[in-house]
Amino acid sequence: MKAYFKVAASIALLVACASARDAQEWFNAGVDYKFYENCLLHFDQEVELDNSKLVNEESYLLAGYEFCPYFMLGAGHRITRERRGAHLVTEQRPTLEMRLAAPEFWTLRFDLRSRFEWRDKSHAQAYMRYRERFRVRTSWSVTDFRISPFASEEVFLSDKAGVRDSDLLDATRSQVGVSFRPVPQNEHLSATLFFMVLHGIRNGAQDWAPINIFGFEVAYAF
């Protein structure tokens, strides 16, 4: 009964957050394929809408190797197309990704995801960006849909030309959501509903520009 109450409270909070005005909508579909036991291929496609208009789309392909259940290292490439006025600006983004997970503690699971990205945008100087996400998930799930809440925080540090070391932090993402199994009989299909606040940081952390985002993700694992 306590688990049901916790999930109900999490969903209520998520719905309340998602009703925030001026929220963007992000949709992501992904596929994971494991072979030779420890090798992993991942692909996902994401679209971002603002007032029902496309503002960004991203395609990401990753090849990785799981050295153990708690450590994965991979290399990937992301292609983004961001709308700037009437034009789409393309970005090539080679990526080195590392995932670390901790053994279950009480009813909680902790994991870290690190990404080193080389951002090469059209008509702009390329630069390196580092991303670090810390996530907390619950180990319990409710009903056959396996509903389970989570929360995460991600920071972005961009090494742009002329930027002081004290100003490398230029964005954060704060996220709460629930993961679930949309078809209880299908163990390979999973989905996530989330609400996120994206803070763009400018002028040496003097200006924090928040963007509210409501998102839905679906993934299939082979």
- Say if residue 139's pLDDT is above 80: no
Average pLDDT over residues 174-184: 94
Hey, where are the domains in the chain?
Answer: 2-221
The whole-number pLDDT of residue 44 equals 98
Give the fold, CATH level 3, of 2-221: Porin (2.40.160)
**What is the DSSP annotation of the chain?**
-HHHHHHHHHHHHHHHHHT-TT-EEEEEEEEEEEETTTEEEEEEEEEEEETTEEEEEEEEEEEEEEEETTEEEEEEEEEEEEEETTEEEEEEEEEEEEEEEPPPBTTEEEEEEEEEEEEEETTS--EEEEEEEEEEEES--BTTTTBEEEEEEEEEEEE-TT--GGG-EEEEEEEEEEEE-SSTT-TTEEEEEEEEEEEEEETTTTEEEEEEEEEEEEEEE-
What pTM was computed for the model?
0.87
* Averaged confidence pLDDT in the chain: 87
Most confident of 52-56, 104-108, 152-156: 152-156
The whole-number pLDDT of residue 163 equals 79
Split at pLDDT 50, 70, 90, the class of 207 is: low
The whole-number pLDDT of residue 208 equals 67
More confidently predicted of 86 and 19? 86
The fraction of the chain above a pLDDT of 70, given in percent, is 87
